[in-house]
Amino acid sequence: MVRALAVKRAVLLVLVLAGCSGRQTPLDPAGDQSQALASLFELMVWVCGGMYLLVLLFLAASIYRARRRLNALPQGETQDDTALTRGLWLWGGLVSLGLVVLAIASFVTDWALAQADRRADLEVRVTGHQWWWRIEYRDPASGAWIETANELHLPAGRTARVSLGSADVIHSFWVPNVAGKMDLVPGRRNVLSLTPRRAGWFRGQCAEFCGTQHALMAFDVKVESPERFAAWLARQRAPVTSSDPQLARGRQIVTGGACASCHVLRGTAANGRAGPDLTHLGSRRMIAAGTLPMTRDAIQGWILQPRAVKPGTSMPPIALSPEDADAASRYLVSLR
Ligand code: CUA
């Protein structure tokens, strides 16, 4: 029993400490906005933790004193206590000071985060759908929008102005390592600034219940050097170019069949708008909004039985022969 409790405690401690680093945690900030929030959080922990400790100390001291005095005083006699009154005034002052410090710190942080909207090196538009993310970048060269989905790339050290909207219900955009969360509300655009500093892969997650597959509405975030980002964006801008004869069957199935009515593959006949842009699908790390790895097997399974993976998804099962499913998945992973 005691041993089980000790093990439970050890596991809890490991879990708590594990929460301090990783690719989806606000406690391991990799951007200006998350750093500001982490510092505010740290200050709150210190102030509130300090007060909590003081409360416990006063409690222990008062119990000790009361015991001693009750034993010393004759029955029925009480004693006025100016020291106690003074102590309470002091304590009241301390609590007020702590609250004022926290209020000012939180106001200053909030204000600084709101100011960040004004300068931006890059414009991004993110639209929430049940249950995936449409992501568009304003091309710095042409001003045109370049579309992709479910994987957000950001240049390190630059500020991206992310305009958030929704196509259906309220979602919430949250990349805890980079910034705080913000809602995606149908009919309006909210703006969030992201200034990542550290290169790497992070994970974003929808943070507002938006239907049965809310938990499977995630996305990858890749922070990379501005040069690499520019090269990536240039690749995303390009239409589908593959003309490999080995992939002809797959290309015909994907761009001429059922897929084309919901998905765009720029440079082909497929121009549906209901689902994610697939022009460079193979370049992404995951499919189905952070749900499955980018492998041929996963793509085949998703095409044939999407509702086995995400019940309620608007993607219908596509009836394909095993050969056709294989050809289609081969073609889709080749789109890099
Ligand atoms: Cu979208 Cu939860």
Would you list the domain boundaries of the chain? Answer: 22-72+81-237, 245-333
> Is the pLDDT assigned to residue 13 strictly greater than 60?
no
pLDDT at residue 115 in the model: 78
Ligand 1 centre distance from Cα of residue 172 (Å) = 6
Ligand 1 centre distance from Cα of residue 216 (Å) = 8
Minimum-distance ligand 1 atom for the alpha carbon of 214: 2
- Single-letter amino acid code for the residue at 4: A
Ligand 1 centre distance from Cα of residue 52 (Å) = 36
Q: Whose CA is nearest to atom 1 of ligand 1?
A: 171
Q: Look at 5 and 275; give whichever has higher pLDDT.
A: 275
pTM of the model: 0.85
Q: Look at 166 and 115; give whichever has higher pLDDT.
A: 166
Ligand 1 centre distance from Cα of residue 219 (Å) = 11
Minimum-distance ligand 1 atom for the alpha carbon of 215: 2
| Mean pLDDT score, 112-129 | 86
Which of 121, 133, 213 minimizes the C-alpha distance to 166? 133
Span 281-332, pLDDT tens digits: 999 999 999 999 999 999 999 999 999 999 999 999 999 999 999 999 999 9
pLDDT at residue 100 in the model: 96
Which of 317, 300, 149, 157 minimizes the C-alpha distance to 227? 157
| Mean pLDDT score, 212-226 | 96
**In b/e form, how buried is each residue of 37-72, taking b as 16+ CB within 10 angstroms?**
bbebeeeeeebeeeeeeeeeeeeeeeeeeeeeeeee
pLDDT at residue 15 in the model: 55
Ligand 1 centre distance from Cα of residue 254 (Å) = 28
Alpha-carbon 93 to chain mean position: 39
Ligand 1 centre distance from Cα of residue 203 (Å) = 14
Cα(235)–Cα(25) distance, integer angstroms: 30
Minimum-distance ligand 1 atom for the alpha carbon of 169: 1
> Is the pLDDT assigned to residue 118 strictly greater than 80?
no
Query: Would you list the DSSP string of 61-111?
Result: HHHHHHHHHHHHSPTT-----HHHHHHHHHHHHHHHHHHHHHHHHHHHHHH
**Per CATH, the architecture of 245-333 is what?**
Sandwich (2.60)
**Per CATH, the architecture of 22-72+81-237 is what?**
Sandwich (2.60)
- Region of 61 on the Ramachandran plot (φ > 0 left; ψ -120 to 50 alpha; else beta): alpha
DSSP state of 4: H
- Single-letter amino acid code for the residue at 93: G
> Is the pLDDT assigned to residue 16 strictly greater than 80?
no
Does 245-333 match 22-72+81-237 at the fold level? yes
Cα(240)–Cα(238) distance, integer angstroms: 7
pLDDT at residue 76 in the model: 62
Which of 303, 295, 335, 294 minimizes the C-alpha distance to 322? 303
Cα(68)–Cα(70) distance, integer angstroms: 6
Ligand 1: residues whose CB is within 6 Å? Answer: 128, 131, 171, 206, 208-210, 214, 217
Ligand 1 centre distance from Cα of residue 209 (Å) = 5
Is-contact 183 171, C-beta < 8 A? Answer: yes
Question: Which residue do the tokens 């222990």 mark?
Answer: 60
- Sheet of strand 200-206, all strands in order from the earlier edge strand to the far edge: 151-155, 218-224, 200-206, 171-174, 182-184
Task: Give the pLDDT band of residue 240 (cuts 50, 70, 90).
Answer: confident
Q: Tell me the CA distances in angstroms from 16 to 9, 25, 204, one per residue in order.
A: 10, 11, 20
Ligand 1 centre distance from Cα of residue 206 (Å) = 4
249, containing H or E segment: helix 248-256
Minimum-distance ligand 1 atom for the alpha carbon of 170: 1
- Which residues, 6 or more positions from 161, have their beta carbon under 8 angstroms from its beta carbon? 117, 120, 122, 123, 124, 191, 193
Minimum-distance ligand 1 atom for the alpha carbon of 131: 1
Is-contact 23 202, C-beta < 8 A? Answer: yes
Minimum-distance ligand 1 atom for the alpha carbon of 209: 2
What integer best gives the mean pLDDT of the chain? 90
